[in-house]
C-alpha cells in the first residue's frame, strides 16, 4: 500500500471516529455496487448500435429501484405492515391492471363511464363485505342486504333520470290558469242578447205589443192573477229574439197565452192612452 493510500485510509478512519453519525453496516459496499450498476446502465445507454425499445432503460431503472425499495422494506423490521399486506397488494395491482386492460379493449358500444362506475361498485361491494365480517359493530338483521338493494336502486334511479327529459306543452302554464278559472268561476249568462236581424226584432215587438195590449185589457176587466206580471217588455223581447220563433209559433203563443174575448170593445182614446202610458 502506497503512502498516499495510507493517508486516505487514515483520514477515513479518523473521520469515522470523530463523526457523531453512523451509517448502517455494509452501506459503502452496497453503495459501490449501486454506483457500478449506474455506470453500467449509463454505458449501455451510450451504445448506439444496440436497438432497444424507446424508454427501455428508464423503465428498467425504475423497476430495479422499486425492487430495491421493496426489499429494503421487507428487511426493515422497524416498519410494521399488516399481515399478508404484500400478497393483498399484489392482487390489488393485478386487478387494477386487468381493469385498465378492459378499459383499453372495450368497444364503443359500451356506455360512457361504464368501467368507472363498475370499479366504484366493486370497491363498495368489497367494503360492504368487510363490514359484514366485523363482529364489533352491531347492526339489525339483514341491514347490509337492504343497504345493498337501496344503493343499487339509487344508482338505477339516477341513471334513469339522466336519460329522461321532462317537457311540458308550449304555453301550458298560461292556459292552466285559464282552465282553472273556467272550472271554478261560474260565468253569468247575459240577460239580454243583441238581435242582428231587424225584421225579427220588429216582428217580435209587434207580437209583444199585441200580447201586452190584450193582457192589460183583460186584467182591467177580470183582474186575474197574471204569472207574467213581473216580466218586463224588454225581457220578453230579448227572450223571443233569442228563441227565433216563426210566425206559426207566435200565433200559437198568442192563442195559448192570451184568451181572446170577442165582446171586448176598445175605443181609440183607450188604445192611445195605453200606448202613451207604456211609451210605445
Distance between CA 206 and CA 199 in Å, rounded? Answer: 11
pLDDT score recorded for residue 192: 44
Give yes or no: residues 58 and 92 share one domain: no
Give yes or no: residues 62 and 115 share one domain: no
Does the pLDDT value for residue 44 go beyond 70? yes
pLDDT score recorded for residue 137: 59
Distance between CA 39 and CA 33 in Å, rounded? Answer: 10
Give yes or no: residues 133 and 156 share one domain: yes
Per-residue pLDDT reduced to its tens digit, 133-148: 665 556 677 777 777 7
pLDDT score recorded for residue 191: 45
Q: Answer with the one of 14, 46, 75 that is the final residue of a domain.
A: 75
User: DSSP secondary-structure letter at 115?
Assistant: H
pLDDT score recorded for residue 75: 73
Does the pLDDT value for residue 224 go beyond 50? no
Which H or E element spans position 130?
helix 114-133
Give yes or no: residues 15 and 59 share one domain: yes
Domain membership of residue 172 (yes or no) is: no
Three cell numbers at 72? 429494503
Q: Answer with the one of 144, 163, 182 that is the final residue of a domain.
A: 163
Give yes or no: residues 62 and 112 share one domain: no
Which pLDDT band, with edges at 50, 70 and 90, does 276 fall under? confident
For residues 213 and 172, the answer to whether their CB atoms sit within 8 Å is: no
Give yes or no: residues 65 and 105 share one domain: no
Give yes or no: residues 66 and 97 share one domain: no
Query: Percent of the chain at pLDDT above 90?
Result: 0
Give yes or no: residues 92 and 142 share one domain: yes
pLDDT score recorded for residue 18: 53
Residues 6+ apart with CB under 8 A from 226: 215, 219
Cα Rg for the chain, rounded, in angstroms? 56
Question: What does the mean pLDDT of the chain come to?
Answer: 68
Per-residue pLDDT reduced to its tens digit, 47-104: 655 667 788 878 888 888 888 888 877 777 555 667 777 777 888 888 888 888 887 7
Q: Answer with the one of 75, 108, 129 that is the final residue of a domain.
A: 75
pLDDT score recorded for residue 188: 46
pLDDT score recorded for residue 155: 81
- In which domain, by residue range, is 245 found? 198-277
Distance between CA 121 and CA 158 in Å, rounded? Answer: 14
Does the pLDDT value for residue 264 go beyond 80? no
Q: Structurally, how many domains does the chain consist of?
A: 3
Domain membership of residue 179 (yes or no) is: no
Domain membership of residue 96 (yes or no) is: yes
Amino acid at each position: 500500500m502506497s503512502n498516499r493510500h495510507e493517508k486516505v485510509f487514515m483520514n477515513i478512519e479518523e473521520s469515522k471516529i470523530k463523526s457523531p453519525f453512523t451509517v448502517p453496516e455494509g452501506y459503502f459496499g452496497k453503495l459501490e455496487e449501486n454506483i457500478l450498476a449506474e455506470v453500467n446502465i449509463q454505458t449501455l445507454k451510450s451504445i448506439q448500435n444496440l436497438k432497444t425499445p424507446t424508454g427501455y432503460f428508464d423503465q428498467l431503472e425504475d423497476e430495479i429501484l422499486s425492487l430495491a425499495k421493496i426489499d429494503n422494506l421487507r428487511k426493515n423490521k422497524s416498519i410494521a405492515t399488516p399481515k399478508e399486506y404484500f400478497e393483498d397488494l399484489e392482487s390489488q395491482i393485478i386487478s387494477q391492471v386487468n381493469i385498465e386492460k378492459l378499459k383499453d379493449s372495450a368497444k364503443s358500444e359500451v356506455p360512457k363511464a361504464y368501467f368507472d362506475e363498475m370499479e366504484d361498485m366493486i370497491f363498495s361491494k368489497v367494503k360492504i363485505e368487510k363490514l359484514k365480517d366485523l363482529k364489533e359493530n352491531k347492526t339489525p338483521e339483514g341491514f347490509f342486504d337492504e343497504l345493498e338493494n337501496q344503493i343499487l336502486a339509487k344508482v338505477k334511479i339516477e341513471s334513469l333520470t339522466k336519460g329522461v327529459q321532462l317537457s311540458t306543452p308550449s304555453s301550458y302554464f298560461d292556459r292552466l290558469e285559464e282552465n282553472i278559472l273556467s272550472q271554478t268561476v261560474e260565468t253569468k249568462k247575459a240577460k239580454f242578447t243583441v238581435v242582428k236581424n231587424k225584421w225579427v226584432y220588429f216582428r217580435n215587438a209587434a207580437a209583444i205589443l199585441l200580447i201586452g195590449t190584450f193582457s192589460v185589457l183583460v186584467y182591467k176587466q177580470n183582474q186575474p192573477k197574471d204569472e207574467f206580471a213581473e216580466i218586463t217588455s224588454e225581457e220578453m223581447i230579448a227572450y223571443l229574439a233569442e228563441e227565433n220563433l216563426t210566425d206559426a209559433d207566435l200565433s200559437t203563443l198568442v192563442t195559448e197565452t192570451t184568451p181572446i174575448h170577442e165582446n171586448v170593445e176598445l175605443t181609440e182614446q183607450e188604445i192611445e192612452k195605453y200606448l202613451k202610458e207604456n211609451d210605445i
